[in-house]
Amino acid sequence: MKFIQFEPIYNLNTKKIIGIDETGVGDYFGFVVSCAAYVPINKLDWVNSLGVKDSKKLTDKKIKEIASLLAKEIYFSTHFFTTKEYNDLNQTLNANEIKMLLHLKTIEKLQNKIDKIDYIFIDQYSTFSSIVKYYEKFLEKENKEKYQIAEIKHDVLLSNKAEDLNINVACASIIARALFLDLMAQKNKLYNVVFPFGAGEKVKLFASKLFENKDKNFVYEVAKIKFKMI
């Protein structure tokens, strides 16, 4: 297994690829969700006909609609951390290390279900060398046991905006976002409040009002406590 910086010269049209993407990392109140997705070769035309693309370019309604169709026809796995779980991890791991851990969990669930995968394609969230270091850190004996890590079995392609380069990553983007939206709806219902997305000035104002009469345990449970608000 090795990491490879993707180049436009690579022809992936006939390759079997597991695409990886995450969502929720920029949301103060949000879950962080990762998805690994694989579209069988004989399903590619059908998937393209759905208008699959980066979830950030689709409405929430369209995301949910496409995700429900994809879930019946392609291979995928998901993993998420609640805000409390994120805060627990963030005591010893930085945000990018948490992303790596999240991706490793989704990859582990899917890589053994599909034969002869050519590549795993991850939307690049840091420098190439940093991502390699994050992975190597989790392979250290102590961390491997602590976080129950399984090694990646296939070569990994890295690229910015990978969801625009490969249909499998785009599918992962959509399914991850659909799950994120569902989880946030459940969280809203549980706390009887509509948590805003993002981390801008409106979110900061919302948080200050929400936390007025709440203790530290509540804040730790619903928000990423080390998150830098814009």
Per-residue pLDDT of the chain (230 residues; tens, 9 = 90+): 999 999 887 888 788 999 999 999 999 999 999 999 999 989 998 998 988 776 677 888 999 999 999 999 999 999 999 999 999 999 999 999 999 999 999 999 899 888 889 999 998 999 999 999 999 999 999 999 999 988 999 999 999 888 888 999 999 999 999 999 999 999 999 999 999 999 989 999 999 999 998 999 999 999 999 887 65
- Does 85 show up as a binding residue in the annotation? no
C-alpha distances out from residue 56 to 14, 19, 82, 107, 154, Å: 26, 16, 21, 22, 28
- As a dihedral over the C-alpha atoms of residue 23, residue 29, residue 31, residue 37, rounded to 10 degrees, the angle is -20
Domains and CATH numbers, the chain: 3-222 (3.30.420.10)
- Does 54 show up as a binding residue in the annotation? no
Q: Looking up tokens 């989880």, which residue turns up?
A: 183
Q: Provide the pLDDT for residue 11.
A: 82
Q: Provide the pLDDT for residue 54.
A: 61
- Does 108 show up as a binding residue in the annotation? no
Q: Which residue, among 164, 172, 174, 176, has the nearest Cα to 18 in the 3D structure? A: 172
**pTM flag (> 0.85):** yes
